[in-house]
A and B are shown apart, each in its own frame.
Chain A
Amino acid sequence: MINLEWVKDYIDISDQDLHELAVKITEAGINIEKVITNKIDNLVIGEVKSCVDHPNSDHLHLCQVDVGKDELQQIVCGAPNVREGLKVIVALPGTVLPGDFAIKASKIRGVESNGMICALYELGLEEKNEETYAKGIEELKDNAPVGKDPLVYLGLEDTLYELDIHKHRNNDCYYHIGFAYEISAILNRKVKLPDLSYSEDKDNINNHFKLEVDTPKCPYYLAKMVTNVEIKESPDFIKRRLLSVGMRPINNVVDISNYVMLEFGQPLHFFDKDTLGDKILVRDAKDGEEITTLDNKERTLRSSDIIITDGKKPVCIAGVMGGLNTEVEPTTKNILIEAAIFDPVSIRYTASHLDLRSEASIRYGKGLSYEYTNYALDRACHLLEKYANATVLSGTVKHDKIDKTPKVVEFYPIDVDKMLGIKIDEDIMKHELERLDFPYTIKDGKFKVTIPSRRLDIESNVNDIAEEIGRLYGYQNIKGTLPKIELKRGEYVGDVKYRKAISKRLRSLGLNEVKTYTLVSPSMAASFDYEEKEKITLPNPMSIDKSVIRTSLIPSLLNTYNYNKARKVEDINIYEIAKTYDKSYNEESKIAFLMKGNYVTNPWKGSIKVDFYLMKGIVESILDYLGFKNRYSFVKSNVSDLHPGVSADILLDRKRIGIMGRVHPKKCSDEVYVCELSLNALMTKVKPLKYKEASKYPTIVKDVAFIVPKSMSSSEVETVIKKAGGRLLSEINVFDVYEKLDNDKKSIAYNLTFMDSNRTLTDEEVMNVFDNIIKKVTTSLDVELRDK
């Protein structure tokens, strides 16, 4: 949150419309999510012309108030300090105060009241507490102009920019001076730093204090000491500014540390020097080391944390939160100010494992500029001297291992042009660098730019400079072109190709594609688990419902089935193709489909219902499409989640590639069929397409029916027929099945097609083969000839 009234301390933007400025800033790359103003309509300055007691109350007053209108307004007011002649803030009917509190004309204990006389806390400009409550309504100076906007008069009108924290280059726009630099680049105006001056006492910090840093994770540590601080309320402007960005004012000392952080982005820590002692040792924490933090909570540290100690015990978790033992209290007299830079990764890790994301840790975690560490320390001394009557001791205790070499980018203007795809005049480039306040030199046409330390985000490459120049020059100046590269047609690659092709096929066969979640609950994963693969369970799931990575898509399809059934959808034909993972991270893409109800629907004429054989036809259609004709087969399955009598394993080259069948009635009473195939298993080589001429010679068809045991599968009979039929038998078709024979028998009738692609067959030779088939079937199987 950036307060624009505050920014005005550092850059002149008094002539700017702040809404338009927000657009300009957003266009230049810092996303301003929202412009917030505390302007309140219908708020005016009034003068209490008369004030008498309310006739029906012992504490209310009845006031006639001049608000600059023709008539006086009668307003009932309960504040003890309301009196005749006072200039006050009046909320007229129609005002909406913070908290959606709407002011209306009304009757209070039988007397008309046309508005409300306000206290500052009621306008959200002060914190509501006992003290501000006791103060009553705000008393304005006698010269306050009646009828005018009181917020403007008080200089309390604020405009705030809310930034999008995720789309952010770094932390340099999180603090008011950094933000002022961004505006300075956009408007080409100079930034003025605040007053950093203070006078130093003869007494030197080194007389009182020693610093030792025993960790590489603290490359920069400065400390100054102030004495005789007077702890009291902060001046109004500090309180107000902190409140405006959502920070609670505490006392002048604490507020100053926060204020400086919001100015320079550098968090400071104030220790009570007297409880701290005369030493600071910064080191890595020990595993299990404990500290009670300012919020009065016991924290257990890890060796990856950085800790500030007094040489013996921890006094502060570096960059995250101070210890209770050295907290600045109302009685504190002497303060040690810490301004440091810690390893951002370490701070982020600490804040995360302690679940303690503070304003400070967020800033440390993004990295800091040492120059601003210096500024912030001086600024704090300045403010403490000015607003807490502190004496600043001379000298600074310092640990300085930070690399101060500025980042330098060298580039030719053509490099930037090539990257952006436009020609930018060299003079314009110079101008943009000047606006950014990036010093540069040019030698033999080559720019050498020095990056200010506050821009931690910029690296030493031409891309970063092209971006800075480009965004200020304006991306709207870039015209679209197409890359000058080889012409080619893109392709679906690898498993995507199979997925797309099979998807298309399934849709053409009437199945609707669905998309479901990869993460399921353990019980859902177990609800149809024919492969019994070990599953990946997330160590930190959001909920148990989404804690397991599925190995089969069928539970998800059953879910979708139930979802649609509940919505009275009768015919449900759906499929999904998705990746699955087992415990060892093996990836298997799967195709699953679920069918129930009618496949072809005609309610008045008769529909075609989904059954096992229809689904089998769909499976065959996919396998045939992929070129697997004659390579696959269906065998009885023992998948326990399927109907034991209506299920099959699907084999390709004798290996199981999937399963299909009716869902076991104990799982689903409806007649629901499911199938799941491994896409990985289908990604195997097939012969290229080749034209094959249809035979010119006539075929001879013979019919035969056998009586077989009910338990015998037709494929068993077919296997024998095929073998006995040899080369001349070109096709076997089942054309009739009759189940209602006695003795657990059934009849299957086949028509057998005989053909030779090189000649016309004679009846005699066909009869020989045909008789041989019948002989083989009836002798090698428990089968009788029924008819031929």
Chain B
Amino acid sequence: MNIEDIKKEIEKDLSSVKDLKSLNELHIKYLSKKGIITELNSKIKDVPNDKKKEFGMEVNSLRNYFNEKYNAIKERLETEELNKKLESESIDISLPATKVSVGSPNILEKLIEEVEDIFMSMGYDVVDGPEVEEDKYNFEMLNIPKGHPARDAQDTFYIEGEEILLRSQTSPVQVRTMLKGKGEKPIRVICPGKTYRRDDDDATHSHQFMQIEGLLVDKDISLSDLKGTFEVAFKKLFGNDVEVRLRPSYYQFTEPSVEADISCFNCKGKGCNICKHTGWITIVGAGIVHPNVLRMSGYDPDVWSGFAFGFGAERVAMLKYGINDLRVFYNTDLREVNNFDRGELDNND
């Protein structure tokens, strides 16, 4: 066969190729050791010397011709094959996802963490103390001696005589923090924690509840500082347009004592069910730390001053998330809780 015939045969063979397998067979037919084109090389010895160069060039060009055609077809077939494979692999993307869950915080804990975050950004450390506590720290050092009427409001679970109890407030943590400060170190702490009082459990009462208390002891601290601190905290918590007002109140461990209200975040002060049509919602009890309390914990009230505040986490969480039964926090129904693993990144923009 001369080169021209081979070329024709190549053309014919390649045009009938259907798949990579038959293409590969052609590769064997023409370019393997015994392949037709390879064989041509061995025929060069029969070619007269003066034609050798020309013959060689023709064989080469034939090889190139084959390779060029071969590669083009190969690429086409491979693409076709891949496309076929991809098509066969395609799935129904509308089928349900595999559920990879991240756990949710307890709703109450979510609120507490938010409060912690706000106060930590203002330099408050977050501390906790014992829940089984001494009367001394829970009451006496807070200016509530034994037999004081202020104890009536906090019906306490006593454990041993009148000395050991389940703490009825987180204030003992403040006392302990002050004692650690030895009358020398300024203090900025918040103390979220479990507290216990002899209340029957219902929609708004619980024998166990979470209190968040704060204490700041430094130099020249005033009631206006307390108000400013609340403004920062409650705007962050309830939205930038809430306002804070202070009203006089009475607590044993603060003097002057106040209650702080926020303007209703729901109706913007117009009056609704949440604010009982007053436009204001009471959030927190607070005041300037009573000089007796400072003194008892080793801080000289002539040098140091401070403010303290406390509120129930349940109440604030109920307000913020629209919950009307406090027991939700303690009887976790996972169907309800699972909504709480999302962020609120658009807040306060």
Contact = CB atoms under 8 A, between A and B. Distances in A.
B132 A581 contact: yes
B127 interface: yes
A601 B104 CA distance: 17
Interface in A587-627: 587, 598, 600-605, 607
Contact of A574 (B113, B159, B332): B332
B149 A470 contact: no
8 contacts: A345-B145, A348-B147, A366-B149, A463-B288, A482-B225, A490-B188, A493-B125, A507-B105
Contacts of B158: 538-540
Contacts of A549: 132, 166
Contacts of B132: 536, 549, 581, 585, 587
B232 interface: yes
B345 to A, nearest CB: 17
B335 A490 contact: no
Contact of A418 (B130, B208, B222, B338): B222
Contacts of B332: 512, 514-516, 560, 563-564, 574
B224 A29 contact: no
A475 B246 contact: yes
Contact of B231 (A29, A471, A480): A480
A355 to B, nearest CB: 14
The 8 closest A-B pairs by CB, nearest first: A421-B224, A421-B222, A29-B248, A345-B147, A467-B256, A480-B228, A490-B120, A471-B248
Contacts of B126: 490-493, 496
A494 B157 CA distance: 27
A281 B254 CA distance: 41
Contacts of B113: 500
Given A487-B123, A507-B341, A604-B96, A480 B227 contact: yes
Interface residues of B, number: 95
Contact of A569 (B164, B166, B334, B341): B334
Contacts of B186: 485-486
Interface in A339-375: 344-346, 348-349, 365-366
A587 B245 CA distance: 40
Interface string B221-256: 111110111111000000000001111111000011
Interface of B: 95-106, 108-109, 113, 116, 119-128, 130-132, 145-149, 152-153, 157-160, 164, 166, 186, 188-190, 194, 196, 198, 200, 207-208, 216, 218-225, 227-232, 244-250, 255-259, 288, 290-292, 301, 305, 329-335, 337-338, 341
Contact of B224 (A481, A509, A511, A567): A481
Contacts of A605: 98
A461 B227 contact: no
Nearest to B96: A604
Contact of A517 (B208, B248, B291, B337): B208
Interface centre among B188, B305, B332, by most chain A C-beta atoms within 10 angstroms, is B332
A506 B103 contact: yes
Given A479-B227, A573-B103, A485 B256 contact: no
A470 B222 CA distance: 12
Interface centre among A490, A516, A598, A601, by most chain B C-beta atoms within 10 angstroms, is A490
A479 B101 CA distance: 46
Interface stretch (A62-70, A89-97, A165-173, A773-781): A165-173
B145 to A, nearest CB: 8
A413 to B, nearest CB: 14
A495 B329 contact: no
A510 B258 contact: no
Nearest to B124: A490
A26 B247 CA distance: 8
Contacts of B334: 512, 564, 569, 572, 574
B244 A480 contact: yes
Contact of B127 (A486, A493, A503): A493
A490 B164 CA distance: 31
Contact of A481 (B116, B222, B331): B222
Interface string A398-434: 0000000000000000000011111000000000000
A259 interface: no
Interface in A530-584: 536, 538-542, 546, 549, 560, 563-564, 567, 569, 572-575, 578-579, 581
A508 B337 CA distance: 15
A604 B106 CA distance: 30
**B interface SS class:** mixed
Contacts of B223: 419-421, 470, 475, 478
A485 B218 contact: yes
A100 to B, nearest CB: 23
B96 A602 contact: yes
Contacts of A28: 248
B306 to A, nearest CB: 9
B202 to A, nearest CB: 13
Interface in A19-77: 26-29, 31
A651 to B, nearest CB: 26
Contacts of B96: 602-604
Contacts of A598: 99
B222 A513 contact: no
A601 B101 CA distance: 9
B159 A511 contact: no
Nearest to B95: A604
Contacts of A166: 152-153
Contacts of A567: 333, 335
B333 to A, nearest CB: 6
Given A483-B221, A484-B220, A581-B131, A467 B255 contact: yes
Contact of B119 (A31, A167, A490, A575): A490
Contacts of A466: 256, 288
A485 B103 CA distance: 38
Contacts of A740: none
A489 interface: yes
A538 B103 contact: no
A285 interface: no
A782 interface: no
Nearest to B220: A418
A494 B97 CA distance: 41
B255 A365 contact: no
A518 B208 contact: yes
A711 interface: no
A467 B159 contact: no
B153 A508 contact: no
Contacts of B257: 467
B156 to A, nearest CB: 10
A365 B337 CA distance: 47
A357 B97 CA distance: 65
A691 B220 CA distance: 47
Nearest to A579: B131
Nearest to A547: B157
A536 B159 contact: yes
B71 to A, nearest CB: 37
Interface in A653-669: none
A84 interface: no
Interface centre among A475, A600, A601, by most chain B C-beta atoms within 10 angstroms, is A475
Contacts of A575: 103
B251 to A, nearest CB: 8
Interface centre among B95, B130, B249, by most chain A C-beta atoms within 10 angstroms, is B249
A306 interface: no
B258 A475 contact: yes
A601 B338 CA distance: 15
A464 interface: yes
A514 B106 contact: yes
A476 interface: yes
Contact of B103 (A483, A513, A587): A513
B275 to A, nearest CB: 15
Contacts of B196: 518-519
B98 A602 contact: yes
A436 to B, nearest CB: 13
Contact of A420 (B101, B104, B125, B222): B222
Given A471-B256, A538-B157, A560-B332, 6 more contacts: A26-B247, A346-B147, A509-B103, A512-B104, A573-B103, A602-B99
